[in-house]
Structures are given as C-alpha cells and as structure tokens.
Amino acid sequence: MSTACLNGLTATYRQQVVATNTVDFTKLQPQDVERLVPTNQLDIDWSAVIFIKNCRRRKAIADTVVWTEQGGFYRTRQSPRALINQVVETSLVQWLDMRAMVDYLELSGPLPYVMGRIMLVSTERPADGNQTSWVGCWSVSHMNPTTRQHQVSLLLTNGMTMIIRDTVSRLRKKIAEAHQILVFQQANQAYATHQYQPVSNVYRPFNQEPLAFRHYRDWRLVSGVLRKAGYSLPDEVVKQLVTEIYRGDWHPRHLDDEWVSSQY
C-alpha cells in the first residue's frame, strides 16, 4: 500500500488508520482531515477516487471529504454533487445521458455516473438531506456486512478496508448496474468507431441498439425542454417530431391545431 493515499489526515487519525488498516467513514469527521483545498483550486483525478464523504445535513453545512488513491484525503467547501458536476460539465456524458441510459436499460435509481475509468455510485443517503456520499467502483475488490446493521466493509484494491453506511445487497446491485452501463457505452462506442472508419474489410452487421438509444435520448431531451417551457405534448407526438428532424424535415408543424383537431 502506498502511504500517499493517507496524506491529508491529522497525525492522530493517520496513526489510527495505519494501526487498523481501516478507514471507518461512519466515524470519520471533517476535522480528522487537516488539508482544506480552496474550491477554485480543486484538481481531482476522478479515475482514482475511492470515496467522497457527504458530511452535510439539511440544516447544517459541513465540508465534503474526498479520498483519492494518489492524492490522499482533503476537505472542500463544495457539496458532493457540485464536485461531480465539475467532471460532468467537461464530459461528453451528461446527467441527461445517465438518466437516459438508466431508463433505457431498465436499471434502478439513483443515478450513478459512469464514463470509462470514472465509475461512481451514490451511497449513504441521509434521511434529512439531499446530498449523498459516492463510492469509486474501480477501487472496490470485495464487500461484506459488518456486525453493525446497515454497514458494509469494503476491501479495496490497495489492500485497505473501508467501512461505510449501506447494505451489501444494495451496493452490489448498484455497482453491477454501473458496470452494465459501462458495457453498454463501450459497445456503442465500438460500433460508432467502426462506422467512422473510412476503410474496413471486417464485416459488421447493422446494430439497431445504438441508433435506438440515440432516438430515446433525444426524445427525452426534447420532452424535458418542452416540460421546462410549460408545454405538454403526448410522447408519440414528440417522438414523431424528433424522427422528422432526424430525416432533415424542419418544416414547421402547427401542433396546436393538429392536436386539438385530433381530439374530435
């Protein structure tokens, strides 16, 4: 185990972690992390994130604790969701895409965030707050329940143990679903790469799923924009409009007249 992953802890808490080889996030407090990084100076290696600890509650704002493999521990004033939005805002995979993938694949909520080496699932959902903690799935090797209810002991790929509030069944399901999303992303990417190649001697049959998902995702986008603007149209009408635009048909439709007349 590299000691770099323990940087940022207070001397007292670091000694405790070294003695037990365990980081117990059910007991860790923000003050156990002495390194505070200003919000405008954050530079996270998202592929190395082990855990993002939500210390906030509805009526109490506290620092968020971030643990990464190379950078160790640090605190930030930003909420966990605001932190993850930093990578989302510079990524081709937006929250809209994650929502569309979860619904298209008929997976469960809440949403994970998956993009290649970045795979984060939410955990430790407090009853009195709207923020959650996040587990970096690539850092997890095995998991087992503890003797305490609703706590999970995670054996990490760096050889350490991490304890968090969750259940083994729920967390296993969420990590498995995150991997399912990754496989789906990779399959779509491989098919797109094949189609973009100028010359290919390898036969590859047409795959309907990437195109079907693209239609589904864009339908969700258009439907969301209409709802945001206060408009309500049947799903089949929105899907038809999206299909027409796909085909290059930008001719205006007088939907108010069409929709009203179709009701009689």
pLDDT digits (tens, 9 = 90+) for 100-110: 999 999 999 89
Task: Tell whether 92 and 211 lie within a shared domain.
Answer: no
Does pLDDT of 60 surpass 70? no
For residue 243, the SS3 value is: helix
Task: Tell whether 169 and 112 lie within a shared domain.
Answer: yes
Give the per-residue pLDDT at 209: 86
Q: What are phi and psi of 233, to 5 degrees?
A: -130, 150
Q: What is the mean pLDDT of the chain?
A: 88
Task: Tell whether 173 and 232 lie within a shared domain.
Answer: no
Task: Tell whether 78 and 129 lie within a shared domain.
Answer: yes
Chain centroid to Cα 197, Å, comes to: 30
Does pLDDT of 128 surpass 60? no
Task: Tell whether 168 and 60 lie within a shared domain.
Answer: yes
Helix (H) or strand (E) holding 15: helix 11-20
pLDDT digits (tens, 9 = 90+) for 157-185: 999 999 999 999 999 999 999 999 999 99
Read off the pLDDT band of 210 (50, 70, 90): confident
Task: Tell whether 144 and 222 lie within a shared domain.
Answer: no
What average pLDDT does range 66-88 have in this prediction? 92
Does pLDDT of 12 surpass 90? yes
Does pLDDT of 261 surpass 60? no
Give the per-residue pLDDT at 58: 66
Give the per-residue pLDDT at 263: 46
| Residue range of the domain that includes 43 | 2-183
| Number of domains, the chain | 2
Task: Tell whether 211 and 173 lie within a shared domain.
Answer: no
Task: Tell whether 91 and 160 lie within a shared domain.
Answer: yes
Q: What percent of the chain has pLDDT over 70?
A: 89
The DSSP bridge pattern shows strands 22-24 and 161-165 to be parallel
What Å distances lie between residue 144 and 41, 51, 156, 160, CA to CA? Answer: 36, 17, 12, 14
Give the per-residue pLDDT at 232: 85
What average pLDDT does range 4-17 have in this prediction? 94
For the ranges 75-89, 157-171, 205-219, 235-249, the lowest mean pLDDT is seen at 205-219
Give the per-residue pLDDT at 264: 37
What is the pTM assigned to this prediction? 0.87
Q: What is the Cβ-side half-sphere exposure of residue 86, based on CA atoms within 13 angstroms? A: 14
* Sheet containing 22-24, strands listed edge to edge, beginning at the edge strand earlier in sequence: 22-24, 161-165, 151-156, 140-145
Does pLDDT of 260 surpass 90? no
Give the per-residue pLDDT at 254: 73
Q: Bin 124: left if φ > 0, else alpha if -120 < ψ < 50, else beta.
A: left
